[in-house]
Amino acid sequence: NLDLLEDVKIINQWIPDTEIGRYFQQCDLLVLPYTSASQSGIIPIAATFGLPVIATRTGGLPEQIDHGLNGWLVPPNDVDALSAAIEEAITHPEEAQLRGKRLQKKYQTQFSWEKNALLLIKSLEKAHQAGGHA
């Protein structure tokens, strides 16, 4: 039971945008046990702070996290797998920090504004060359 651990704080409420940074700066690990989700806007925020993330393998979350490389993915509703991932992250903090830094790097490179702008420009150029209108 996580409530028995002195250093674990579970926050299950809406957090205003103005307070988000404070919470993420205090985190060592972010756990997102979604039963279903199309994507998560929380994962990019965690990446900004270099936080390791454990999430469920549902919806678009596997596109955001590469299991074993920059985070952990577990099956939805699998309490044993979720517990094992949390235990691994807690007992191997250096590995957890490394995964958080890798997630940060992924978001800085693959999901940057610059990269998305270049992809948009290339798509528009391709459409224009094919006779379409941009």
Give this prediction's pTM: 0.80
First to last CA, the chain: 56
Per-residue pLDDT of the chain (134 residues; tens, 9 = 90+): 555 567 777 778 888 989 999 999 999 999 999 999 888 889 999 999 999 999 999 999 999 999 999 999 999 999 999 999 999 999 999 999 999 999 999 999 988 788 888 889 999 999 888 886 65
Domain range list for the chain: 2-129
What b/e string do you get for 21-60 counting C-beta neighbours within 10 Å, with b at 16 or more?
eeebeebebbbbebeeeeebebbebbbebbbbbbbbbbbe
Q: Name the CATH superfamily housing domain 2-129.
A: Glycogen Phosphorylase B; (3.40.50.2000)
